[in-house]
Amino acid sequence: MNRVRLLVFNRALSVLDYSVPDGMVVEPGAVVIAPLGPRQITGIVWEPERLAGDEVPASKLRPIREVLPVPPLSAPLRRLIEWTADYYCAHMSSVARMVISSGGALGGPATMTEYRLSGAEADRLTSKRAIALEKLVGEQGTIRELGAFAGVSDGVLRGMVNAGLIEPVTVAIDRPFPRAKADHDRPDLSADQSEVADRLTQAVKDKDFAPFLLDGVTGSGKTEVYFEPVAEAIRLGRQVLVLLPEIALTEAFLTRFERRFGAAPVLWHSSLKSTERRRAWRAISDGSAQVVVGARSALFLPYANLGLIVVDEAHEVSFKQDDGVRYNARDVSVMRARFEKIPVVLASATPALESLQMAESGIYEKLDLPSRFGGAQLPSIQTIDLTQEKPGAGRWLAPPLVAALEDRLSKGEQSLLFLNRRGFAPLTLCRNCGYRFKCPNCSAWLVEHRLSRRLSCHHCGHETTPPQTCPECGEPDCLVACGPGVERIADEVAEILPEARVAIATSDTLNSPERAAAFIAQAEAGGIDVIVGTQLVTKGFHFPELTLVGVVDADLGLEGGDLRAAERTYQQIAQVAGRAGRGAKPGEVFLQTRHGDAPVIAALVDGDRDAFYAAETEARRDAGAPPFGRWAAIIISSEDDREAREAANRLGSGRPQHDDLMVLGPAPAPLALLRGRYRYRFLINARRSVELQKIIAGWLDAFQFPPGVRLGVDIDPYSFV
């Protein structure tokens, strides 16, 4: 090869041709550095026939400068990048950027300085130094890590380095990860569990594309079961990727994984430090990372030898990315498995309708775990009719739920109250003039957070301190909180049950792996009587003493009215109900509702999942909604309302005409203002037979917009705001 075509990380250029200097070996997928004008840019060598671009005459080609010391991206991964870009109407360079997600890793091996106690004696010590000397025995890390560990400032430790009490050591950044052992601590599986585990283990051995839907009720042992094919992959020296929907869940997962395999897996998520990120990236790309556990972005990493993908809680909406490349990690996982020719397991107690449909039509193989492990029973679910059983004035918990809470407390059992609203109150207004606190950047109310004494916007992060007087009419002490959030429910519990130990579990309180770990440890040790939490505590957690779940507002999720509202409500309530009665004692679940006769609520009470899915399937079929038809959204935004509106109207005038496709809009998006940008939206509904992406691309390509206008395409959208 004496000329190559590069995919570069610049949307405007995206494809460039270069020559290859004599003696340099360049294969497809290689990551290289090449000159562009006065700069040096990074690019990926691509098959020229798969990357459209203008042929540059040989005389004008500049030579590549160097090939970076990382393995070339494999052909299956290159195909995945192409497929993802095509399917989600995104740029290939944006997808490739998710693969090359550690700049540091490209530079090759490197070292860093860590510190440890030198062993030198000191005669007189400040109290802080004494603490550090005591706490840091056997520890090694960066100054910052050691400081955080010992609870002293960086300055104290630097002083100790100067005094010779602490010494620097040079270590390779990319030191190997501890090895997991396939048979470290194997559980005895039940007959049901073994059957499913054997099927999955066989699929790993077969090493061919095989998509599975692992459909098991909450507490059936899905994790123990999919650990078996994970073990097989480890035995065969192949890599495994486990995707989890939430970082808060990783702590519990890590503990279980370590118990089963004797070593921690390799973690991947957005808050890794850059050194951790490069260490993980390099181990993944050279094949030494055996099992990677991560958020959705782990899906695009350059695994050297992938043998299995597991998507846990596969129905979770957080697998859908809502900015940049708007992909759904659940769906892309299946595509990756197809390109890599390996099995993929979608595990859930409440699978997405789309996944069930794929199983029904024989595309996915369905594996069932119909009962809880160890003879535990599924909890009983009943409603509390809020129109009859009214909570007291200014209260949100109805008498039967209060009685149940009192009962659990007296027995020393745990309760969980679920309300999917962070903060104290979702709306604050002035009693005198009716003024409502609104975000200046978004069409959204400011949410009061009483613990942190803030009014904050959950969309853009805007925050203010609640004022003493109304900003509109100037009246003092006139602000009222409307509606409940978890903090308000926690206050109510504290009033009703003053002796109860109450914990709030939300992304505000469990915002780091350490805090999540502390919460789990406290709950497991019986140090919490009542947990009040958002969707964060609905899944994954296993607290055997938890026997009561109260859903504060079962109707909340149905109000949004978007396409998946009923399904999401079903999943959320079924999942949170699944936290109750996982141990020896049976669980009880109360749903507070005003619409006890709504089909979703009725199905939950009857424990009739099939009835719910059947009704939902028919509703979707009638609406031409997924999986029977397809949706796409196009959002046009600008900081200038008029500019956005005009662009939307112009685009609307060129809308595609097609018998099997309907374009709705443009209309102001439900979130008409978001982060200071005015937004207009088109919704497209199409039959499955239509080449939706091609039509959209053809439509959008014909337009040029002013630089202030942004265009976002969302294929198979989850968010309709």
Site residues (vs Zn ion, CB under 5 A): 439, 441-442, 457, 459-460, 462
**Which CB sits closer to ligand ADP, 407 or 524?**
524
Q: Which is nearer to Zn ion, 442 or 601 (CB)?
A: 442
Select the residue interacting with ligand ADP from 53, 104, 141, 187 (CB under 6 A): 187
Q: Least distance (Å) from ligand ADP to the CB of residue 418?
A: 17
Residue 640 contacts residue 710 (beta carbons within 8 Å): no
Q: Pick from Zn ion, ligand ADP, none: which does 515 bind, CB < 5 to 8 A by kind?
A: none
Identify the residue whose tokens are 């042992």: 221
When the beta carbons of 84 and 218 are compared against ligand ADP, the nearer one is 218
Report the partner that residue 460 touches, choosing among ligand ADP, Zn ion, none (CB closer than 5 to 8 A by kind): Zn ion
Please report how close the Cβ of residue 312 comes to ligand ADP at its closest, in angstroms. Answer: 8
CA-wise closest residue to 113 among 172, 46, 41: 172
Eight-state DSSP code of residue 350: S
Candidates 114-122, 187-195, 238-246, 440-448: pick the segment binding ligand ADP (CB under 6 A): 187-195
296's contact among ligand ADP, Zn ion, none, with CB below 5 to 8 A by partner kind, is none
Pick the piece of the chain touching ligand ADP (CB under 6 A) from 139-147, 219-227, 261-269, 556-564.
219-227
Interacting residues of 121 by C-beta distance below 8 A, sequence separation 6+: none
Specify the residue, 188 or 701, whose C-beta has the smaller distance to ligand ADP. 188
Output 275 or 719, the one with its CB closest to Zn ion: 719
Check: CB of residue 619 under 8 Å from CB of residue 661: no
Interaction partner, residue 220 (ligand ADP, Zn ion, none; CB < 5-8 Å by kind): ligand ADP
Instruction: Please tell me whether residue 373 binds ligand ADP under the rule CB under 6 A.
Output: yes
Closest CA to 449 of 534, 374, 375: 534
**Is-contact 27 45, C-beta < 8 A?**
yes
Q: Is 220 in the site for ligand ADP (CB under 6 A)?
A: yes
224 binds, among ligand ADP, Zn ion, none (CB under 5 to 8 A by kind): ligand ADP
> What, of ligand ADP, Zn ion, none, does residue 459 touch, CB below 5 to 8 Å by kind?
Zn ion
**Of 485, 484, 519, 514, whose CA–CA distance to 502 is shortest?**
519
Query: What backbone phi and psi angles, to 5 degrees, belong to 316?
Result: -65, 135
C-beta separation of 466 from 428 below 8 A: yes
Alpha carbon distance 48, 321 (integer Å)? 30
- Considering only 28, 147, 211, 219, the residue that binds ligand ADP (CB under 6 A) is 219
Task: Kindly tell me the burial class for residue 276, based on how many C-beta atoms sit within 10 Å of its own C-beta (0-12, 13-18, 19 or more).
Answer: middle
In the complex, least distance from residue 225 CB atom to ligand ADP, rounded to whole angstroms? 7
- Give yes or no for residue 229 binding ligand ADP (CB under 6 A): no
Task: Give the residue with the Cβ less far from ligand ADP, 193 or 201.
Answer: 193
Question: Nearest Cα to 305, choosing from 333, 346, 341?
Answer: 341
Q: Is 84 exposed, middle or buried (0-12, 13-18, 19+ CB in 10 A)?
A: buried
The option from Zn ion, ligand ADP, none interacting with 357 (CB < 5 to 8 A, set by class) reads none
Which residues ranging from 505 to 564 are in contact with ligand ADP (CB under 6 A)? Answer: 542
Distance CA 696, CA 417 (A): 44
Binding site partner of 462, from Zn ion, ligand ADP, none, Cβ cut-off 5-8 A by kind: Zn ion
Distance between alpha carbon 570 and the CA centroid of its chain, in Å? Answer: 20
Give the nearest distance from C-beta 129 to Zn ion in angstroms: 46
Examine residue 223 and tell whether it contacts ligand ADP (CB under 6 A).
Answer: yes
CA distance 462 to 579: 34
H helix runs in 243-398, sequence order: 247-261, 274-285, 329-340, 353-360
Q: Sheet containing 39-46: give its strands across.
A: 15-19, 3-8, 39-46, 31-36, 66-67
Which one among 224, 228, 448, 487 touches ligand ADP, defined by CB under 6 A? 224
Distance CA 48, CA 512 (A): 45
What residues from 658 to 687 belong to the interface with ligand ADP (CB under 6 A)? none
Name which of ligand ADP, Zn ion, none residue 223 binds, using a CB cut-off of 5 to 8 Å depending on partner kind. ligand ADP
Rg of the chain over Cα atoms, rounded to whole angstroms, equals 28
- Residue 218 binding result from Zn ion, ligand ADP, none, given CB thresholds of 5 to 8 Å by partner type: ligand ADP
357 contacts ligand ADP (rule: CB under 6 A): no
Q: Which residues contact 326 (CB under 8 A, 6 or more apart)?
A: 88, 90, 320, 712, 713, 714, 715, 717
Q: How many residues bind ligand ADP (CB under 6 A)?
A: 15
Q: Which stretch binds ligand ADP (CB under 6 A): 75-83, 182-190, 358-366, 637-645?
A: 182-190
Residue 640 CB neighbours (<10 A): 15
State in angstroms the smallest separation of the CB of 316 from ligand ADP.
13
Quote helix, strand, coil % in the chain, to nearest 5: 35, 25, 40
Positions that interact with ligand ADP (CB under 6 A)? 187-190, 193, 216, 218-224, 373, 542
